[in-house]
Structure 1
Amino acid sequence: MKVLIIEDETLTAQRLQALLHSYDPYIEVLAQFRSVNKTIQWFQDASHPQPDLIFLDIHLEDDLGFRIIDELQLTIPIIFTTAYNEYTLQAFKVNSIDYLLKPIDADELAGALNKFKLHWQTRKPALIDTSPLEHLIEKSMPTVYKDRFMVSLGPKYRSINIKDVAYFIYEDRVTLLITNDGDRWAVDYSLDRLVQILDPHLFFRVNRSLLAALWAIQTAHSFSGGKLKLELEPILRQEIFVSGDRVSSFKDWLGK
């Protein structure tokens, strides 16, 4: 079986590939992509083999994954990987499309693959109608935010709840997740991307290198040049300032 993994979280993609090979070591992962545009470019190259099955994240780094289906008129069976709630997932059942909730569970993956082998491989290819699902996604997107992160230490994986995250900091070309206990984990997200997927009531982009949780901010002091100096918990080694152009919106956010 040839599969394609389209997922913008590197750790999730790596874990999925490992689980696939545990299920069947003969499964061939043709490629992994993080974006809609790179996936479309890959399909447009006729020299690439066609996958038998696609694992597709709904929200990729440059657009919703549905655009891949729409632009390429795909009829290849798809298993979605998603963090969306049960209400939204009703549309999957309407379209007879399977899905896996993140973090992906080995038994649930095996069930989806068994379903594919039993039902999808014998079906006549047909264009997947994603319009009901897209409609529900659009309605739910303002209230659906990422609530956990998967991090790794060697071969081990750990899921961190968003309530345990104090802040994210960009340091030495790496985005670090800092927990309330002061643990530091590398994550595969830019701060720009994190701003898009985190609840804006809980997290604020303090400056170019720091995105802080409300509960991590202890005090804010007026500073020269119209800036604000922050005291965070856990404490950072360097001084943290709210950029002058963000001070007004920061005060509004802090007072909500």
Structure 2
Amino acid sequence: MTNIRIVVVEDEAATARSLIQILNEADDQVAVVKALSSVSGAVAWFNDNPDGYDLIFMDIRLADGLSFAIFKQVAISRPVIFVTAFNDYAITAFKNNGIDYILKPFDPDEIGTALDKYKTWTGNAEKPGAPVLSELLMQLGNLGKSYKKSFLVHYRDKLIPVESAKIAWFYTANELVHLHTLDDKQYVVDATMEQLEQQLDPALFLRVSRQFIINRQAVVEAEFYFNGRLLVKVKPQPAEQIVISKARTAEFKKWMNS
């Protein structure tokens, strides 16, 4: 059988590894030929390898911007399965070769179903996405809007509930995620940053960098930084600076001004 040559575009290293493992285990026809982590890197690779792949699994929010920017800089003729923690990009996704739209955190069954959809698509001459657009938009529109109200954390020999509204920020390092409360307490939380993005109320929390998700109640001020970036001051202040990239400053301003 002919292998399905897959490119993974994902800026979270742990998520990329997990996705690649699931793909390799889901189907013996799958061959992951490349893992990319940025818009710029993807543009360069797809320009150099226009025929080097059959299918793309692509995150939407990358470290240097939205992945939709890739389609503006290079011709992508193969189908794309978007894998994201956000449900508000569905229409744009299907305008950019999308044949499926999987919300994180995903499971192996969803990935297997998406691969089956790709196999069906390869025998269909219709435009990518057309057969499933209305169905998926309906599913996305019916998603519940409830968010986590608290997190159960371990502290010594106890389990302690921490209210989401009382969390100042989440920080990730060495594949561990820490939460820091408004009253200056810190715990390890059993979740990835991408899972947290889906679980937290976006009106209250925003992921401002790969390392930080912050609570608007913790923000003291933001000052202009080098190269169009922003330096955000929060309280309590973490040991590491919170720097928002130029690509994310507009989103941060809109969030704070809403």
TM-score range, shorter chain: 0.5 to 0.7
**Distance of 1:27 and 1:162 partners within structure 2:** 42
Deviation at 1:167, TM superposition (A): 3.5
Read off the aligned partner of 2:77 and give its amino acid letter.
T
**Distance of 2:58 and 2:163 partners within structure 1:** 24
1:204 aligns with 2:219: yes
Secondary structure at the aligned position of 2:43 is classed as helix
Read off the aligned partner of 1:121 and give its amino acid letter.
T
Secondary structure at the aligned position of 2:65 is classed as coil
**Distance of 2:163 and 2:39 partners within structure 1:** 26
Change (3 A) 1:2 1:67: same
**Distance of 1:127 and 1:114 partners within structure 2:** 14
Read off the aligned partner of 1:51 and give its amino acid letter.
Y
Change (3 A) 1:78 1:116: same
Number of residue-to-residue matches in the alignment: 186
Q: Match for residue 246 of structure 1?
A: none
Q: 1:34 aligns with which of 31, 37, 42?
A: 37
1:6 aligns with 2:9: yes
Secondary structure at the aligned position of 2:8 is classed as strand
Change (3 A) 1:199 1:27: same
Give yes or no for contact 1:3–1:54 (8 Å, CA) kept in 2: yes
Give yes or no for contact 1:6–1:55 (8 Å, CA) kept in 2: yes
Q: Match for residue 245 of structure 2?
A: none
Deviation at 1:66, TM superposition (A): 1.0
Q: Which runs of 5+ in 1 are unaligned?
A: 133-145, 148-160, 218-229, 241-256
Deviation at 1:166, TM superposition (A): 5.2
Q: TM-score, normalised by structure 1?
A: 0.54
**Distance of 1:93 and 1:44 partners within structure 2:** 22
Read off the aligned partner of 1:177 and give its amino acid letter.
H
**Distance of 1:113 and 1:59 partners within structure 2:** 22
Read off the aligned partner of 1:59 and give its amino acid letter.
R
Secondary structure at the aligned position of 2:77 is classed as coil
Deviation at 1:125, TM superposition (A): 8.7
Q: Which runs of 5+ in 2 are unaligned?
A: 134-146, 149-161, 195-206, 223-229, 241-258
**Distance of 1:21 and 1:174 partners within structure 2:** 22
**Distance of 2:193 and 2:213 partners within structure 1:** 14
CA RMSD across the alignment = 4.8
1:183 aligns with 2:185: no
Deviation at 1:184, TM superposition (A): 6.8
Q: Match for residue 70 of structure 2?
A: 68
